[in-house]
Structure formats: structure tokens, C-alpha cells
Chain A
Amino acid sequence: EAGVAQSPRYKIIEKRQSVAFWCNPISGHATLYWYQQILGQGPKLLIQFQNNGVVDDSQLPKDRFSAERLKGVDSTLKIQPAKLEDSAVYLCASNPWGAWENTEAFFGQGTRLTVV
């Protein structure tokens, strides 16, 4: 079974530029999550999709971050404009049911963003 695919693996941009990350979840997984992992910290949820609808985006900085999940499959996360404090690894995860305790959620390798 193929895992969660993310691209790019690394990205370096200047502050105030824009950047986009892409995620392809495991086939058939209805739930998709984007997490932000700052160096030395645990992952923090940014947004959760169930199919192509947003379930929870309460921690997404909506003034600069946006995300979409077209046709309930792939997803993109965008930052515009980027700030220095956005430097982090952005992780995508998926699972079939949307409940952590019912089944395992699988994480991608992440995209490491450096804002200079």
C-alpha cells in the first residue's frame, strides 16, 4: 500500500513570498490533516478535511494560510505572504474514518519550509 505522498520535500523562500505544498493521501482515505511541526515541538493541527469539506480549521491562521482539497483526494496548503515564524515541517496525514482512536492515521514525510 502506497503511503501519504508530499511534495516538495524542501523549500526555501524569502519572507513575504508565497509557497504551496501538495499532499496525496492514501487511496480511499476520507480524512486528511495538515499539521505544522516547528523544530523541537510536537505537530500542531492546522486543518482537517473530511472528503472535500473542512471539519476543523480553528487553528489555521486564515489571514495568510489557506488549504483546499479538490474532489476529496489531493490537497494543497498555501502560505501567502510567508513570515519567518512559518519555518517548520508541514506534515500531511490521512485515515479512513476521521477518528484517531478507530484506526491508525498515516503521516507523510513532510515538507521542510525555511523562510529567510
Chain B
Amino acid sequence: QQQVKQSPQSLIVQKGGISIINCAYENTAFDYFPWYQQFPGKGPALLIAIRPDVSEKKEGRFTISFNKSAKQFSLHIMDSQPGDSATYFCAASKRARGGANNLFFGTGTRLTVIP
């Protein structure tokens, strides 16, 4: 069962355009929503994260929009650059028993920014 659903699977954007990736979740116990960026042959790296008590977080060209009632969140990349070409994963985390905390990943979006 996929805990976090992500779309689209792939995305092609012109340089300077806006890239938008969407995610949805069902489990209301999730309390932390990060986005990871992964380049080929590398491990995922944290890009930006948000808690459910805020509706938006912006860091440079990257913005997370969060809709708690709809259980949806999205990543917006403004002024997309060829260097942003990578696979992006949304994720969600919740506290589990014994201090464990599992990070549930979406299926990923392969972004290609065309020069």
C-alpha cells in the first residue's frame, strides 16, 4: 500500500518555467513532510521540508504548499534551471512506537529542464 502518492511520474519544463509536483497522503498521523532531490548515482538529499501547522514554506526558488484539509502538498520550483534536472521524491514521516520514525517516500518524479 502506497502511503504517499506522487504525480506526475515525469515532467519536462522549459528553462525559466515553473515545475510543479504534487503529493497526497491518507494517514493524518504524518507530521513532517520533506522533499528529496536525487541525481543519478547519488543518494537522496533533503531539499526542503514543512510541518502541517504552516501552509507554505519558501527557500530560494523552492516552495512547498501544504493543504492539511485536503491532505495534499506540492513542490513548486520557480525559474527552473537545467541543473534542477533530477528525480524528486516527496515523503512523510510520523512518530512510531519506541522512538522509531519511518519516512514513507512517494514514487518519484523525474524532472527534465530543457535549456
Name A's B-contacting residues (CB within 8 A): 4, 40-45, 48, 50, 55-56, 91, 93, 98-101, 104-110
Residues of A within 8 A of B41 (CB): 109
Interface contact A107-B32, CB-CB below 8 Å: no
Residue of A nearest to B44 (CB): A107
Looking at A43, A44, A91, which has the most chain B CB atoms within 10 Å of its CB?
Answer: A43
Interface contact B89-A42, CB-CB below 8 Å: yes
Contact count band on B: 20 to 34
Decide if B18 is an interface residue (CB 8 Å cutoff).
no
Decide if B86 is an interface residue (CB 8 Å cutoff).
no
Residue of B32, B89, B99 touching A98 (CB-CB under 8 A): B99
Residue of B nearest to A59 (CB): B102
Residue of A nearest to B98 (CB): A55
Given A41-B108, A109-B42, A110-B43, A101:B102 Cβ within 8 A: no
Decide if B72 is an interface residue (CB 8 Å cutoff).
no
Q: Report the number of A-B residue pairs with Cβ-Cβ less than 8 Å.
A: 63
Interface contact A108-B43, CB-CB below 8 Å: yes
Residue of B nearest to A92 (CB): B43
Decide if B96 is an interface residue (CB 8 Å cutoff).
yes
Name B's A-contacting residues (CB within 8 A): 4, 6, 31-32, 34, 41-46, 49, 51, 89, 91, 93, 95-96, 98-103, 105-108
B42 to chain A, nearest CB (A): 6
Residues of B within 8 A of A99 (CB): 95, 99, 101
Residues of B within 8 A of A44 (CB): 105
- A54→B99 CA distance, assembly (Å): 11
Interface contact A42-B91, CB-CB below 8 Å: yes
Residue of A42, A55, A108 touching B99 (CB-CB under 8 A): A55
Residue of A42, A48, A107 touching B107 (CB-CB under 8 A): A42
A-B pairs with the 6 shortest C-beta distances? A42-B105, A107-B43, A56-B100, A101-B32, A55-B100, A100-B93
